[in-house]
Amino acid sequence: MPTLVVVRHGEAERAAPGTDDIDRQLARQGRADAAAAGQWVAEHVGRPGLVVGSPALRARQTVDALVAAWDERPTTVVDEAVYEASLGDLLRVVRGLDDDEDVIALVGHNPGLSLLVGELTSEPSDLATSSVAVVEVPSAWADTPAFACRLVSLETPRA
């Protein structure tokens, strides 16, 4: 059964004057919590075969911290559609995933990720920074149904 591991980026620093939102980096605690999330995923899910992430610096840094906890680095893809994504954007990303991968991580932002988990599972979710939602999908990625997936776990690992 396909498994989607939804990860909200770690806590970011406040934007310095003149810094674009997309260029905000992780705070020290955000890096540590993202590493803890990676360890949690390794222990409870295993290593995803693919990680799809937002192009925002804080999301890319979260991906780096996650995969550092895994035995092998999976294929990672930056998808522009994940940054500032609506629910519809994220559903298109999920439904466009490669069926050759059974476990895929999606790293991005709120409110989109919380809306996605709620839409897929019928369980309202509010992902804090570095939260991990594990969602079982009862079909091929292209046919990912709304309100019919199962929320296996929702955790917020902290360093």
* pLDDT tens figures, 27-41: 999 999 999 999 999
Domains of the chain are 3-12+23-155 (3.40.50.1240)
Per mean pLDDT, which range of 12-21, 64-73, 120-129 is the poorest?
Answer: 12-21
Cβ burial of 28 (10 Å; 0-12, 13-18, 19+) is exposed
Question: What's the half-sphere exposure (Cβ side, CA atoms, 13 Å) at 159?
Answer: 18
pLDDT, tens digit (0-9, with 9 covering 90-100), for 96-138: 999 999 999 999 999 999 999 999 999 999 999 999 999 999 9
φ/ψ of residue 146, rounded to 5: -75, 145
- Asked, as a colleague might, if the bond just before 111 is cis with ω within 30 of 0, I would say yes
Identify residue 120 by its one-letter amino acid code.
L
Within 9-137, strands assigned E span 50-53, 75-78, 103-108, 132-136
pTM of the predicted model as reported, rounded to 2 decimal places: 0.97
Per-residue pLDDT band at 93 (split at 50, 70, 90): very high
pLDDT at 19: 87
Give the Cα separation of 68 and 129 in Å (integer). 18
